[in-house]
């Protein structure tokens, strides 16, 4: 997972500070030395690191901080704010033209994830009730057109293509007209990339730019390439004028340098991040939330937003009613697992819950997608009756379930025990809450 090393090191620095009732100037200096090393090791641009550390130090060595009751916490807060500022301060939103379509030109080196990101962006816009038109403008990479068409089919978004014999400038021009004629409110133009920046590529991109006058020029860069990604961004920005950056492959174990340096070095904000190969793995970028994730403080806001986008509220209400009345069965349990899976890979979800990132490293708490698969297999091997009335599962039945699910009796026992405890807890909780909220308190 991205930032893991950086998060771990920063947490170590802060836990030392937090333990102190009084913080001396020497303590701050020592902490900042470690922060500096942690950032450099995470491949953050050295100039950016230098300025960052200087700013944090300046703000930390002041009377208000050092004389406060919780100096450690105040310093963490300063680092949090500075990290947020470093990444742009607040969310840089996608432009929306008041003369539709809003034209988005996607640029970047080959393999960065341009084509897949185009599809993901279209999907994100569809979720906001927009009608994007995708344009297959990469006529050089043999499979790019087909790839975009497949993506379009998958999300039911139209794809404009004229094959690979017509110039990309002409394709973009005709696509724009097509979007106007068909009432598409966004035009997403996938363009060609090369392995390295070269003049021919820039010339062609400039021509497309001049022809369609995009509202957004988004550079797609691979976060795994670290400072190279930042250099590429600088180059594209000088030659084309970027409006934003999309950072891909943040699901890999990138150290994070690109995410932390791109804005400071190029002046271009990160607008989206991609955290996987699946079509819904693209997220708007929020500097304050990313800072919070980097510091291991979770990101509940993003989690709630994901839930709102993906979870069926009627089902959630029904589930809540069942929990209150202790009617929760293994069928409901399966259904809940399904809903959680819609939010994305489990380890990414865990990272969004404060404190969970750290717990994840513990050996006892092995919750991963594979583990979820085993749990599902066990529940699938239960009969309808067993799912509804777990209390009837005696040793004989449990043995059958273990054999049927390819697990073992210990795993089956553990799951049933956990389920029992969960039900009891739900019951206690709902008794405590009463039908109208916490007992004795008006809500």
Cβ-based nearer residue to ligand GDP, 195 or 443:
195
Give dist(CA 194, CA 201) in Å, integer. Answer: 7
Cβ-based nearer residue to ligand GDP, 136 or 294:
136
User: Is 442 marked as a binding-site residue?
Assistant: no
User: Is 194 marked as a binding-site residue?
Assistant: yes
User: Is 210 marked as a binding-site residue?
Assistant: no
- Work out the end-to-end distance of the chain between its first and last CA atoms, rounded to an integer number of angstroms: 41
User: Is 414 marked as a binding-site residue?
Assistant: no
Q: How far is the CB of 225 from ligand GDP (least distance, A)?
A: 12
Q: How far is the CB of 272 from ligand GDP (least distance, A)?
A: 10
Q: How far is the CB of 116 from ligand GDP (least distance, A)?
A: 4
User: Is 192 marked as a binding-site residue?
Assistant: yes
Cβ-based nearer residue to ligand GDP, 148 or 295:
148
Cβ-based nearer residue to ligand GDP, 269 or 276:
276
User: Is 86 marked as a binding-site residue?
Assistant: no
Cβ-based nearer residue to ligand GDP, 178 or 194:
194
Q: How far is the CB of 246 from ligand GDP (least distance, A)?
A: 9
User: Is 117 marked as a binding-site residue?
Assistant: no
User: Is 193 marked as a binding-site residue?
Assistant: yes
Cβ-based nearer residue to ligand GDP, 72 or 152:
152
Q: How far is the CB of 105 from ligand GDP (least distance, A)?
A: 13
Per CB under 6 A, residues contacting ligand GDP are 108, 110-116, 193, 220, 248-249, 251-252, 274-277, 281
Q: How far is the CB of 204 from ligand GDP (least distance, A)?
A: 15
User: Is 108 marked as a binding-site residue?
Assistant: yes
Cβ-based nearer residue to ligand GDP, 161 or 274:
274
Q: How far is the CB of 97 from ligand GDP (least distance, A)?
A: 25
Give dist(CA 10, CA 276) in Å, integer. Answer: 25
Show binding-site residues. Answer: 108-115, 190-194, 248-251
Q: Which residues does the annotation place in the binding site for GTP?
A: 108-115, 190-194, 248-251
């Amino acid at each position: 997972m991205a930032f893991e090393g950086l998060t771990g090191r920063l947490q170590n620095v802060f836990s030392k500070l937090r333990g102190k009732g009084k913080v001396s100037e020497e303590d701050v200096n020592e902490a900042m030395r470690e922060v500096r090393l942690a950032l450099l090791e995470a491949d953050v641009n050295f100039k950016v690191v230098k300025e960052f550390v200087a700013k944090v130090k300046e703000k930390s060595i002041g009377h208000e901080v050092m004389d406060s009751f919780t100096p450690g916490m105040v310093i963490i807060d300063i680092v949090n704010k500075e990290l947020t500022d470093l990444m742009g301060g607040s969310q840089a939103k996608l432009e929306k033209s008041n003369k539709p379509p809003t034209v988005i030109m996607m640029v970047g080196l080959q393999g960065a994830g341009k084509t897949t990101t185009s599809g993901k962006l279209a999907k994100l816009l569809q979720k906001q009730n927009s009608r994007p038109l995708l344009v297959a403008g990469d006529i050089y990479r043999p499979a790019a057109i087909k790839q975009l068409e497949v993506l379009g089919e998958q999300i039911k978004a139209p794809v404009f293509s004229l094959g690979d014999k017509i110039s990309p400038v002409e394709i973009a021009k005709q696509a724009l007209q097509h979007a106007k004629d068909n009432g598409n409110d966004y035009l997403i133009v996938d363009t060609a990339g090369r392995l390295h920046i070269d003049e021919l590529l820039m010339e062609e991109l400039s021509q497309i730019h001049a022809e369609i006058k995009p509202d957004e020029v988004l550079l797609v860069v691979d976060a795994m390439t670290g400072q190279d990604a930042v250099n590429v961004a600088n180059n594209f920005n000088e030659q084309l004028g970027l409006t934003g950056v999309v950072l891909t492959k943040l699901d890999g174990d990138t150290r994070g340098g690109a995410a932390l340096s791109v804005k400071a070095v190029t002046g271009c904000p990160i607008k989206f991040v991609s955290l996987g190969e699946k079509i819904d793995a693209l997220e708007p970028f929020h500097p304050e939330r990313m800072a919070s994730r980097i510091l291991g403080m979770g990101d509940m806001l993003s989690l709630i937003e994901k839930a709102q986008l993906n979870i069926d509220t009627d089902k959630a209400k029904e589930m809540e009613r069942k929990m209150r009345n202790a009617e929760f069965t293994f069928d409901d349990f399966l259904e809940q697992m399904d809903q959680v899976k819609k939010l994305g890979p489990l380890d990414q979800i865990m990272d969004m819950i404060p404190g969970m990132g750290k717990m994840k490293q513990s050996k006892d708490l092995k919750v991963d997608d594979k583990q979820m698969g085993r749990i599902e297999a066990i529940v699938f091997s239960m009969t309808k009756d067993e799912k509804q009335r777990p209390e009837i599962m005696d040793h004989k039945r449990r043995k059958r379930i273990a054999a049927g699910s390819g697990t073992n009796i210990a795993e089956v026992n553990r799951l049933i025990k956990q389920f029992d405890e969960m039900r009891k807890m739900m019951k206690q909780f709902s008794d405590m809450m009463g039908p109208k909220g916490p007992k004795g308190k008006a809500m």
